Structure 1
Amino acid sequence: MPLTFILDPPVDRALRDGLVTLWTEVSDAGGAVGFVPPANPDDVRAELVKHLVSMAEGRTRLLVGVDEEGAVAAAVFLTLNTHRLMRHWLWLYTVMVHPLHQGKGYGRDLMDAAAGAARGIEGIEAIRLTCRGGTGVDRFYESCGYKEVGRVPDAIRVAPGDDRDDITMLLPLH
């Protein structure tokens, strides 16, 4: 059964807890979403608060995918640029699909829904995102139409002796 995607859902305790659980479990499954396993839910919650503040200030939008039971199964943050010369594109941050739902096409559905949401924002012409090298996720984003436009070697230190490239990707929306 497909996920139902909601842009700018009402933020309540259930959503916050669902996002922390999703983020923690994606991290613990090896997802490159800002933490390494084992992710501490308190650290995840603190990072989520930063996104929630940005949402309250109108700088970030949240797209959530819920399963048939209403549980948070996927999410991505769309962050607008505030710089006057870069307001024509936005960033995607923290692209996540719950490990139980991976392999069902929900990642592609999430990316399609994010592109649709971005197209609905006046003046947005492209989406940028970054991803961690060595995970293969850049190939997934390429299959969704993104092109690699930059790479910083060894910019992400996952652990001592384990440095990964920071890859920037772009999806033009026109």
Structure 2
Amino acid sequence: GDSRVPKHTQKVFDGDSRQQPFGKYNKPIIKLSRSIATDAAGENLFLGGLDRRFCWMDLQMGNKPWKKLKHHTAAVRSVAYHKRFPLLATVSDDGTAMVYYARIYSDFSRDNELYPVKRLRGHEKTSDDLSMLHATWHPTQPWLITAGADGTIALFTY
């Protein structure tokens, strides 16, 4: 593992129980999550961590991550899910944003879908190895907006 990643872990808790971690899943879901996003209904959590991983938890499917991916070579600093389109983005200190097609189905007979679509570049790495720090989607268009440690804001349109 990355020696720069502290050994701390975080747990996801069920808000109704206030005492016990969500379900009986006591293993760390992701090391030091830096970003948490939800879908519009709040039934899915998207987590990005310093361990370079991105995790999708469908809270209706159980207490374990539905997907756990490692598409970045440095810390994932931000995760953003579009409120209108099935789009998800992660941004990282590796200087890239990953855009995913992320379809959420409420019908239990169908699995959610997650496909990488494009890797975007738009920020320079700083001397302290920081790069893309935050991502957000435009509310009505499939446009990704990112903020970088280099002091710039980038707009990616399709």
Instruction: Place the TM-score, normalised by the shorter chain, in its bin.
Output: under 0.3
Structure with higher RCO (Cα < 8 A, 6+ apart):
1
- Going by fraction, where is helix more abundant, 1 or 2? 1
- Going by fraction, where is strand more abundant, 1 or 2? 2
